[in-house]
Amino acid sequence: MTKPKVLISDKMDPNAARIFTEMGCDVDVITGETPEQLIARIGQYDGLAIRSSTRVTKEVLDAATNLKVIGRAGIGVDNVDIPCASGKGVVVMNTPFGNSITTAEHAIALIFALARQIPEANTQTQAGLWPKNGFMGVEVTGKTLGLIGAGNIGSIVASRALGLRMKVVAFDPFLSPERAVELGVEKVELEQLLERADFITLHTPLTEQTRNILSRENLARTKKGVRIVNCARGGLVDEAALKEALDSGHVAGAALDVFETEPAKASPLFGTPNFICTPHLGASTTEAQVNVALQVAEQMADYLVNGGVTNALNMPSLSAEEAPKLKPYMALAEKLGSLVGQLTTGAVPRISIHTEGAAAELNARPIVAAVLAGFLRTQTDSVNMVNAPFLAKERGIEVREVKSEKEGDYHTLVRVSVKTADGERSVVGTLFANSEPRLVELFGIKVEAELAGHMMYIVNEDAPGFIGRIGTLLGENGINIGTFNLGRREAGGEAVLLLSVDSPVAAAVIEQARSLPGVKRVMALAF
Ligand X SMILES: O=C(O)CC[C@@H](O)C(=O)O
Chain residues that interact with ligand X, rule: CB under 6 A: 51-52, 74-76, 99, 280, 282-284
* Cα-based torsion angle of the residue sequence 404, 408, 411, 415 in order, rounded to the nearest 10 degrees: -60
196 versus 280: smaller Cβ distance to ligand NAD: 280
257 versus 441: smaller Cβ distance to ligand NAD: 257
**Residue 352 binding ligand NAD, by CB under 6 A:** no
DSSP code string of 453-515? SEEEEEEEE--TTHHHHHHHHHHHTTPPEEEEEEEESSTTSEEEEEEEESSPPPHHHHHHHHT
- The partner in contact with residue 415, picked from ligand NAD, ligand X, none with C-beta cut-offs of 5 to 8 angstroms by kind, is none
* Cα-based torsion angle of the residue sequence 264, 265, 271, 275 in order, rounded to the nearest 10 degrees: 20
**Residue 187 binding ligand NAD, by CB under 6 A:** no
Known active-site residue 262: yes
> Which of 227, 233, 354, 377 is the catalytic position?
233
**Residue 283 binding ligand NAD, by CB under 6 A:** yes
Q: How far is the CB of 262 from ligand NAD (least distance, A)?
A: 10
192 versus 306: smaller Cβ distance to ligand NAD: 192
Query: Contacts by 315-320 with C-beta closer than 8 Å and gap 24+?
Result: 315/91, 315/369, 315/385, 315/386, 316/363, 316/365, 316/366, 316/369, 318/363, 318/366
Q: Which range binds ligand NAD by CB under 6 A, 168-176, 238-246, 336-344, 406-414? A: 168-176
C-alpha pair distances (Å), 203 with each of 148, 232, 233, 476: 6, 5, 8, 73
**Residue 209 binding ligand NAD, by CB under 6 A:** yes
C-alpha pair distances (Å), 314 with each of 83, 292, 310: 9, 19, 11
99 versus 384: smaller Cβ distance to ligand NAD: 99
3-state secondary structure of 170: strand
Ramachandran region of residue 443, left (φ > 0), alpha (ψ -120 to 50) or beta? left
207 versus 379: smaller Cβ distance to ligand X: 207
103 versus 342: smaller Cβ distance to ligand NAD: 103
Q: How far is the CB of 235 from ligand X (least distance, A)?
A: 13
Q: Residues of 230-242 as b/e, b for ≥16 C-beta within 10 angstroms? A: bbbbbbbbbbebb
- The partner in contact with residue 51, picked from ligand NAD, ligand X, none with C-beta cut-offs of 5 to 8 angstroms by kind, is ligand X
**Residue 75 binding ligand NAD, by CB under 6 A:** yes
- Size of the chain in residues: 527
3-state secondary structure of 20: helix
**Residue 81 binding ligand NAD, by CB under 6 A:** no
> Which of 262, 322, 401, 461 is the catalytic position?
262
Q: What residues from 224 to 243 belong to the interface with ligand NAD (CB under 6 A)? A: 231-233
Known active-site residue 280: yes
Residues lying near ligand NAD in the complex (CB under 6 A) are found at 75-76, 96, 99-100, 103, 148-154, 171-174, 203-205, 207, 209-210, 231-233, 257-258, 280, 282-283
Which residues are catalytically annotated? Answer: 233, 262, 280
